[in-house]
Amino acid sequence: MTSGEKPQDPRLLHTIGLDIGRVMRDVGRRGLRRQLSGTLRDLESFYLSEERRERLAGLKPASKLAHRLLWLLRGLLMKLPPARRVLLALALVLIVVGNATLRFGNVSLNFDFHATGDVLLLVILMLELKDKLVARDELQAGRAVQLALMPQRDPSVPGWDIWMFTQPANDVGGDLVDHLALGDGRHGVVLGDVAGKALPAALLMVKLQATLRALIPQARSLADLGAAVNRILVRDGLSNRFATLVYLVLDPASSSVALLNAGHPPPLLLRGRVASELPAGSMALGMMPDATFEDQCADLGDGDVLVVYSDGITEAENDAGEFFGDARLRAAVTEAAGGEAAGIGAAVLAALKTFVGEAPPHDDVSVVVVRRQPGDQRGT
């Protein structure tokens, strides 16, 4: 397209043709039954309460179908704003009534209420789609801001090989992966996880990042840092929101890693081909105003690796509802033993992708891999 030409709207039939091809490939890859059952599970998890889903599981097939349709319709109506709820209820009534003939003396008038109901359904669909597209644009703008706040490259610390990764389940996420030069040669690396997903978690994640960056330079110890961050999140946070994190301090002159674990899954320590968990840490941030925290330390020999991860990895589900789990994570880490940090991280993500398959993500996925470089590799 030359600079003077105006962009053209996509051709509708061409776009629909491409969409049909994508859908057919998905069906061929997953199977029609799995595709439909996955869609049904998504609908039920969104529109039905946990209590109704449990009741549904105990019903006989014929009764289950009737209750599922009724409860999904009720859930749909209750999710809509009042005006659209009224329009949808009216549309359904008109569709059920169908055609009707009204007589006025010798005059008979035929009314196609079914068509009117269809038009109302289309109007409601257009209004809901408009709202979704506006919200998606806003979330994409929020994602751009979030990415701008994230580090653009892995940190470079002499004696250490570091690899960082984060991927939100939605347009914006609640996982924090960040690093900060401490001014004396040391470097801080953090992986945090805010409870929840999407926009609320993302907003609290940004607050957590800003709080850490403000408090880290003046903290006397990691325990004091945890207590100070906790007080701020308790004071300014929401009652049902909290955050977990692992904060590492790397020193080029030392093989010891100082760390703070606030309610997060303990990092894995890989020595040779043996992966073991570090001791559990303190409680999560933002839950109790007087919570106390403690410093931890991990000594890494040449080639030893720390793997810090969010629970979006171990709690990732496949189509069968199985969790990836700790055992598969350890297996992926140990199989990549001896490699560089990026290779170990890539092995974890590859094993996760193979296990999850086509199942949609349910949580953000984040990994930080820290490897102590052997003596002959330091300084290169």
Rounded Cα gap, residues 101 and 369, in angstroms: 73
DSSP letters, 23-41, are HHHHHHHH-HHHHHHHHHH
- When pLDDT is averaged across residues 198-213 and rounded to a whole number, the result is 85
Q: Hey, what amino acid is at 194? A: V
pLDDT at position 307 over 90:
yes
Please indicate, yes or no, if residue 363 is contained in any of the structural domains.
yes
Answer with the one of 144, 179, 197 that is the final residue of a domain.
144
Q: How many Cα atoms occupy the beta-carbon half-sphere of 283 within 13 Å?
A: 12
Residues 6+ apart with CB under 8 A from 74: none
247 with 295, same domain: the answer is yes
pLDDT digits (tens, 9 = 90+) for 248-299: 999 999 999 999 999 999 999 999 999 999 999 999 999 888 899 999 999 9
Q: To the nearest whole percent, how much of the chain has pLDDT over 70?
A: 94
Domain encompassing residue 256: 155-372
How many domains does the chain fold into?
A: 2
CB 306 within 8 A of CB 343: no
What 3-state class would DSSP assign to 273? coil
251 with 293, same domain: the answer is yes
CB 237 within 8 A of CB 229: no
Q: What pLDDT was estimated at residue 237?
A: 65
189 with 252, same domain: the answer is yes
pLDDT at position 346 over 60:
yes
Please indicate, yes or no, if residue 379 is contained in any of the structural domains.
no
What 3-state class would DSSP assign to 9? coil
pLDDT digits (tens, 9 = 90+) for 47-75: 999 899 999 888 888 898 899 999 999 99
Closest by CA position to 266, among listed 291, 288, 296, 301: 296
Reported confidence tier of residue 1, pLDDT bands at 50, 70, 90: very low
pTM for the model stands at: 0.74
Please indicate whether residue 313 or residue 184 has the higher confidence score (pLDDT).
313
Reported confidence tier of residue 39, pLDDT bands at 50, 70, 90: confident
Give the single-character DSSP code of 280.
P
